Structure 1
Amino acid sequence: AGGEFTIDERTGRIYAQRRLDREERPAWRFLVLATDEGGSGLTGFADVFLEVRDVNDNAPFFPCPALEVDGCFVGHVPENSPADTSVMEMRAMDLDDPNEGRNAMLTYSITKNVRNEINLNLFSINATTGTIYTVLRSLDRELEDQYLVVVEARDGGGLVGTGTATIMVSDVNDHPPVFTQRVYTTQVTEDLEVNSEVLVVSATDGDEGENAVVTFSIVGGDEDRKFFVETDKVNRRGVIKLKKKVDFEKPHERTFNLTLKAEDADFFSLAYCLVQVEDSNDHAPVFFPQFYEAPAMSEDIPVGTIVAQVTASDLDSGLNGKFSYSISKESDPYSQFLVEQSGWVVVADSLDREKISQHRIMVLATDAGSPALTGTAIVMVTVLDVNDNGPEFEVQYKPVVWENTAAPQPVRMNETSLLLHATDRDTSTNGSPFSIRLLMLTSDATNFNLTDFRNGSAAITALRTFDRERQKEYRLPILMIDSGSPPMSSTSTLTVVIADTTKLKKIKQERNKKCYMFTELKPKVGVG
C-alpha cells in the first residue's frame, strides 16, 4: 500500500497518491507505525482498514458470451403467439457497487422497437428484469422471420448501455398447401404403358420445415383406380402415373375428372385435373361375319354381277376407325373380282370353271391408322359349268401305219394302244358320251375308216397299202361332239405317219431276241 497511500508524519493524515478504483480494489488494509522521541523512542502500531466508497463511474453494459455463434442476444418466439408472451431476457451488468446508492440499479427500456402496419410496437420490456414480451398477436413468420430490437439499460446515476436483441420468429403450421394451378388439363393416348407419367402437379406452402411437407393424393374421379400419385416431398411435386391401362373404346374411360388433394400435417387444398384419353389404332377392322358363301354361279355370268356384300366395323375413331375394302391379290390372281367401298363384291372379269372351279376370295379392310391395321373375310364362290368346251384328244397322238402292209391295217395310236380317246374339260353332264367321226373332207380321209365305240374311244383302220416314198403322212379331220345341251363340237387333225418297213423288221428282230444271264456256282467245300 506504500505506493498507493502516504501519511503526514506530524498529523497522521493518510493521503491517496493516485485515483482509486473501487471496481479494481474495493478495500485496503495496512499498518501505520508511530515512533516517539524523534524516531528513537517507543513505537506503536495501528491496523488501518480502508474501504473505497463507490461512485457511479461505470455505465451498464450487455455482456456477450464468447462462444455464442448466432449473436449475443437471440430469442425465439413462435409466430401467432398471444400478447405478453415471453420472448427472451436482456440482462445487463454494472460494475458499480449495487449496495452504494443507485449506482448499479438498472432500468431497462426499448429505444428502437419494431412497429406493425398501424404503427404499434410489437415488443415491450420489463423495466426491472429486462424480459422482452410480445405486445400484439401479430407476428407472422411468413411476413418477417427476424426482428432487431435495441434495448437500453440505465443505472441510477444516469449512465446508459445498449444492446441489440435478435428475435427469431419460429414457424407454426398456419398455412395450407396451395396448388400452383386450380385446374389442370392433360391428354394421354390409350396405348400409354402402365407406370408412365401422365402429369406433374405442384404446390406451395408458406410454412417451412416439417410444416411444409406436402403429400399428394387422388380423392375423386378415379373409381376404377386407373391412376396413382408419387409424391416428391423435396420439390413439393406430385407425379400422376398410370396404374391400369385405359381403353378409349369404353365411353366412360375417354375422360377422367380427377380431384387432387395436397395436404400437410394440418391443412389441405384441392385441385382438379381433366385427363382426356386419345384414341390409338389398337383395333383392326372386324368383319361380321368373317366367312361368306355366295350362291353358286355359272361361269358365263356377266361382268358386274353382285357376288356378296361384306360388312366390317372398326372400334377406333377418327382416321384410326376409317377403312377401305380391297381384295388380296394372292386370292384373286386374275383380278376376276372387285369390292366396292360399299362392301359389294362383284364380278370384274369373265369366269372360267375349267381354270378355277371355286374361288376363295380374301377381302381386306385396312384402316387409315399409322401403322395401318387390317381385318380379313373370306368369300367362297363356286363356279358352275356351262358347255363352253368341245371334246379334244386325251393325249397328243402320233399314229403310225407301215408301208407295204396289206389292208386293212389297224392304225396304232401310240406304242401301247390302238384306240383314240376323247376327253372334255367340262363336267360330265356336258361331256361324254361323245360322238367321234372321220370327216371326208380331204382325199387323205378316204384312205381310212373310223369306228366309234360310243364310250369315248374309237379305232382307225387303214383301207389300203401305203408307199412311204410316195406320201409320208396323211392328215385326218376328226369331228368330236359332246352330250351337252346344246352340244359342243370340235375338229382335231390326226396326222398318220407312214413308217418304213425296214424299221418294222428291226423291231420284230428285237422282239425275237432272248437274253440269258449266267451265275458262277462254286462247290461247297468243307473246312477242317
Structure 2
Amino acid sequence: MAELGKDTAYVRVFISDVNDNKPAFAQASYEVDVDEDADVGFAILTVSANDGDEGGNAKLRYQITSGNTGGVFDVEPEVGTIFVAQPLDYEQNKRYKLHVLASDGKWEDYGTVAVNVVNKNDEAPVFTVNEYYGSVTEELDGPPVFVLQVSASDPDKDADQEALRYSLHGQGAETEFIIDEVTGKIYAQRTLDREERAVWRFVVLATDEGGEGLTGFTDVIINVWDINDNAPVFTCAPSCHGSVAENSIVGTSVMEMTATDLDDSAVGQNAVLSYRIMGSLDSANIHMGAVPTFSEMFTINPSTGTISVAMDGLDREQVESYLLIVEARDGGGMTGTATATIQIKDVNDHAPRFTDRACVVRISENAETNAEVLELAAEDRDTGENAQLTFSVVAGDQEQKFYIVSHKQEQRGTLRLKKRLDYERHSEQMFNLTLKVEDLDFSSLLHCVVEVEDYNDHAPVFIPHFLSVAPLPEDASVGTSVARLVASDSDSGQNRDMTYSLSEDSDPDGLFTIDQSGVLFVARPLDREHVSQHQLVVIATDHGVPELTGSATVQLPLLDVNDNGPEFEAAYAPIVFENAAGPQVVKLNQTSTLLRALDRDSPENGPPFHFSLPPEYRHSNDFYLQDNLNGTATLTALRTFDRERQKEFFIPVIMSDSGRPAKTVTSTLTVTIGDQNDHAHVAGEKKIYINSHRGRLPTTVLGKVYSPDPDDWDNKTFVFEGHVPSYFVLNKRTGFLIIKENAPPGTYQFQVRVSDDVWPDAVSSVSVHVRELRDDAIYNSGSLRLADITAKEFIELRGRQQSRFDLLLDFLSEMLSVPPDDCQHL
C-alpha cells in the first residue's frame, strides 16, 4: 500500500495593539523654584508620563487642570514643558500648586507641580506725596538753610527701609540746594535772589539697597520769598522817545513812561510805583526865541507814567525836541530815572524851493532812453511827509522827450530822457523846460535850458555805392589815375570831416592808393595773370567819436599785355631706358608722346605755339624735336644710351606764342635714362661707428648694407648670413640695418647675403663698433660744418685707401694730439 505525502507551512500572526494601558507619571509630584522676574516664555521644568501601549495609543497630551491662578503658567501639550505665560509677582503670590493631566485619549493620570516664586527687588521706592512744596526768603545770611524734608518707603516685602538713599537732580541741585542722602532733608546752601529766580524745581530720587537698587522720584518746588532789593527800571531806557504835533492842545497824550520793578508785586509795596517829572535838559534843545521852561510844557500821570501837554504854544520851528528827566519810585523808597525825548511833529507850513535859481545842461543826441540829463535838488523846512517832494516837467516839452524820477524823501529828482533825440532836427537842438517841485500843499518853479550836442550818428555815404570803370592795361605805369569817388556825411563839424582809404582785404598787395580828394591811383605794377579784375573797396572814415565809415566798391578789369611766354603743360618727366635701340619716340608721361604748352596770357597772346631746339642742338646725335605745327611737338631719342655713363639729359626747348609781338622762352626738358640690371653686384664691406652714453643707446638706423653695383634701380633682397647678434634688425627689402635700444659696447661682425635674382649672390661684411662715450668727451666736444661736398662724396672711397672722412679724423687727431678713437666720437 503506498505511503501518503505531507508538507509544512509557516504562518506569521500579527497582534494588533489595543489601548488597554493607562499613562503613568514618572513621579507623582514635582517642585521647582523660579525667580519672580523670569521672562515670559521661560521654561521652568518638563513633566513626563509613560504608556505601555504603542503607536497612537501611546501618544500623550499634557494639560494644567487647576492651581494656575491668574494663568501665569502654561504647558507644551505634546512635550510636557511648563513655562511662564504671564509676569510673576512675589508680592501677590509666593507659591503655586499646579495639577497636571496626562491623557492618551482614553486613559488619564494626574501629577502635581509645586512652583515656589523667589522674591526679587522689583518694586521701586515710593514717596509719601508726588510733589513737595517749600519756601525760603531771598538774601538770607548764614547758609545752609533748612527748607523741607522728603520721605519715601520701599514696597518690596521684607525690604530694609533704612537702606534708602536720597539724591537731588536738575537745575540748582548740588549748587544752590543739597540733600541729606539718609534723612531726605533739603538745604539751601547759597544766598538766593528772587529776581534771578523766583521758583526752583528739581527732582529728588530715592534708591533702595543702599543706593544700588531701584529708584523712585518726586518733584520738589521751592518758592523764594521777596524783599525790597531792586530799584525801578524804565522799560524804554536808555532810549525813551515820544512825539506830539506842534500846536497840540492841553491834555494831548504824548508818550508812556513805564517802569518795572523786579521785586514781587504780589507782596507788600515793593513793586508799587509812582512817577514825576524832575526837570529838563535845556542845553540839548535849540532855542528859537523866548519860550517857557521846558519842564512846564508837559505833565505826567503819577500812577500810569503817561506824559501829556500841559501848556499851549508848542512850535517845532522854535523847539524841535524836549528832554525831560522822569523819576519812578517804589513803595520802599527806591528810585530810578530816565530821559524822555519828545519830538515835536511838523505841520506843513513852508513851500519847497529849488536849490538852483536857473540851470543850463547839455546832452548828446546819442543818449539812450532813460539816460540821466540833470540831477535836481530842492529844500523844504518842513519834515516828514510834509517835506517829501515831487518833481515834474510842466512846460517846454511838447513832444514829451523828458520825464523826472522823484526821490521824495531825499528831496531830489532826476531829469531823464524819455525818447531818443535827433540833432539833425532843428526843433530838437535846444529845449526850454519849466520844472516844478511840490509838497502836499505848496510848489515852486525852475527854468532849465537843455542844449543837445551833435553826435556822430551818420556814416559817410558814397553815391554811387558801386562804380565800374573802363579797363586798364596791366602795364599801366605807377601813378596812373583810375577814378575819383566822393562821399557825404549828414553830421556837422568834425563829425562830417572824413579820410579816404582802401580796404586791405580788397587790395592785399597794395597795388592801389587813394588821396584825400578821393582820387584812386595805381601804386605798384599790375599783373593780369595774377588778378584779372580788381574789386576795390574804398572806405570813407569820419572824424567823429566813435568813428563811422562808409564804403563803395570799384570794379576795375585789366587789359592783357603779352608779358608771359609759353610753359610746359605738365611737369614732364620722360624716361628712356638704357640699351634700347634708337631711334624711338620718347613718352613724355604715361599716356602721351606729345609735348604741349600753355600760356597764362589771354588767348590772343597764346596758342598756337611753336617748338624748336637751339641751333647748336639741332644736329645732336642724342635727340631730335619735331614741331607738329598743331601746337604740339614730338621728341625722338636717336641712339642707344648707357645710364652708367650718363643718367640725365637736359634738353633746351624753345617755345613761342602767337602774340604780336610773339613772346619766346626756353624751357629745359629733363630726360632720365632708365636703369637696366646689366651689371653684377659684388661683396662689400662697411664699418659703422656708434656711441652710447652711460649705458644708454636708442634704437638707431645704422644705414644700408654696402654691396657695390653700378646699377642703381635694381631690386635686391638682404638676409643675414650665419649667426648674427640679437641686437640687430635687417630690412629685407631696403637693406637698412637697425641696432636695438641699449646694445652694450663692443665690436659686432657679421655677414649679409645680397641677391637680385639675376646675378650671382654676393656676401657683404658688416662691422659695428659700439663705443661708450665719456663725459669729458662731451664737455670738450666741438662741431664742424662742411660745404661744397655731399654726404656720399664725404664717405666714399673711390679707389683711395681712405675716405675723406677717414682723412679728416687723422688730421684732427694729429692737430689735437689725441688718439684717433677720441676723434671718432665726433
The TM-score bracket by the shorter chain reads 0.5 to 0.7
**How far apart are the structure 2 equivalents of 1:460 and 1:488?**
22
Matched letter for residue 245 of structure 1: R
Matched letter for residue 334 of structure 1: D
Where does residue 651 of structure 2 map in the other structure? 476
Where does residue 662 of structure 2 map in the other structure? 487
Give the paired residue count: 354
Whether 2:475 is the aligned partner of 1:300: answer yes
SS in 2 for 1:412: coil
What CA deviation, in whole Å up to 9, does each residue of 1:287-322 have, x standing for no partner?
443333332212111111222333334444455444
Q: TM-score when scaled to structure 2?
A: 0.38
**How far apart are the structure 1 equivalents of 2:568 and 2:496?**
57
Where does residue 62 of structure 1 map in the other structure? none
**How far apart are the structure 2 equivalents of 1:370 and 1:168?**
59
Shift of the 476–446 alpha-carbon distance from structure 1 to 2, 3 Å rule, reads farther
Where does residue 396 of structure 2 map in the other structure? 221
Matches within 5 A, 1:12-51: none
- Contact 1:444 1:474 (8 Å CA) reproduced: no
Where does residue 124 of structure 1 map in the other structure? none
CA drift at 1:180:
3.8
CA drift at 1:359:
2.1
Matches within 5 A, 1:55-70: none
Extract unaligned runs of 5+ from structure 1.
1-67, 75-143, 149-163, 508-528
Shift of the 219–450 alpha-carbon distance from structure 1 to 2, 3 Å rule, reads same
Whether 2:609 is the aligned partner of 1:427: answer no
**How far apart are the structure 1 equivalents of 2:449 and 2:565?**
76
Whether 2:365 is the aligned partner of 1:185: answer no
Q: TM-score when scaled to structure 1?
A: 0.57
Matched letter for residue 415 of structure 1: Q
**How far apart are the structure 1 equivalents of 2:245 and 2:452?**
58
**How far apart are the structure 1 equivalents of 2:447 and 2:417?**
17
Where does residue 391 of structure 1 map in the other structure? 566
Where does residue 458 of structure 1 map in the other structure? 633
- Contact 1:444 1:476 (8 Å CA) reproduced: no
**How far apart are the structure 1 equivalents of 2:482 and 2:575?**
51
Shift of the 445–431 alpha-carbon distance from structure 1 to 2, 3 Å rule, reads farther
Whether 2:455 is the aligned partner of 1:275: answer no
What CA deviation, in whole Å up to 9, does each residue of 1:267-300 have, x standing for no partner?
7654321112234444444444333333221211
Shift of the 172–458 alpha-carbon distance from structure 1 to 2, 3 Å rule, reads same
SS in 2 for 1:331: coil
Shift of the 437–210 alpha-carbon distance from structure 1 to 2, 3 Å rule, reads closer
Where does residue 230 of structure 1 map in the other structure? 405
Matches within 5 A, 1:90-129: none
Shift of the 435–214 alpha-carbon distance from structure 1 to 2, 3 Å rule, reads same
SS in 1 for 2:483: strand
- Contact 1:194 1:242 (8 Å CA) reproduced: yes
Please say which of residues 302-311 and 359-368 is displaced more in the overlay: 359-368
Where does residue 411 of structure 1 map in the other structure? 586
Please say which of residues 330-339 and 423-432 is displaced more in the overlay: 330-339
Structure 1 stretches of 4+ moved >6 Å: 68-74, 144-148, 167-176, 205-213, 264-267
CA drift at 1:369:
4.4
Please say which of residues 182-191 and 479-488 is displaced more in the overlay: 182-191
SS in 1 for 2:616: coil
The higher-RCO structure (CA 8 Å, 6+ apart) is: 1
Please say which of residues 414-423 and 492-501 is displaced more in the overlay: 492-501
Please say which of residues 417-426 and 222-231 is displaced more in the overlay: 222-231
Give 1:242's match in structure 2, choosing from 396, 405, 417: 417
**How far apart are the structure 1 equivalents of 2:245 and 2:593?**
131
CA drift at 1:380:
2.5
| Identity over aligned pairs, percent | 50
**How far apart are the structure 1 equivalents of 2:488 and 2:499?**
11
Whether 2:515 is the aligned partner of 1:360: answer no
- Contact 1:258 1:275 (8 Å CA) reproduced: yes
CA drift at 1:479:
1.6
Please say which of residues 210-219 and 251-260 is displaced more in the overlay: 210-219
CA drift at 1:169:
12
- Contact 2:502 2:514 (8 Å CA) reproduced: yes
- Contact 1:423 1:456 (8 Å CA) reproduced: no
Shift of the 486–146 alpha-carbon distance from structure 1 to 2, 3 Å rule, reads farther
Give 1:195's match in structure 2, choosing from 367, 370, 373: 370
SS in 2 for 1:329: coil
Whether 2:519 is the aligned partner of 1:341: answer no
- Contact 1:408 1:462 (8 Å CA) reproduced: yes
**How far apart are the structure 1 equivalents of 2:246 and 2:641?**
142
**How far apart are the structure 1 equivalents of 2:408 and 2:645?**
117
Shift of the 462–259 alpha-carbon distance from structure 1 to 2, 3 Å rule, reads same
- Contact 2:579 2:640 (8 Å CA) reproduced: yes
CA drift at 1:176:
6.5
Whether 2:611 is the aligned partner of 1:436: answer yes
Whether 2:433 is the aligned partner of 1:258: answer yes
CA drift at 1:382:
1.9
CA drift at 1:241:
1.5
- Contact 1:146 1:168 (8 Å CA) reproduced: no
**How far apart are the structure 1 equivalents of 2:566 and 2:401?**
74
Shift of the 481–167 alpha-carbon distance from structure 1 to 2, 3 Å rule, reads closer
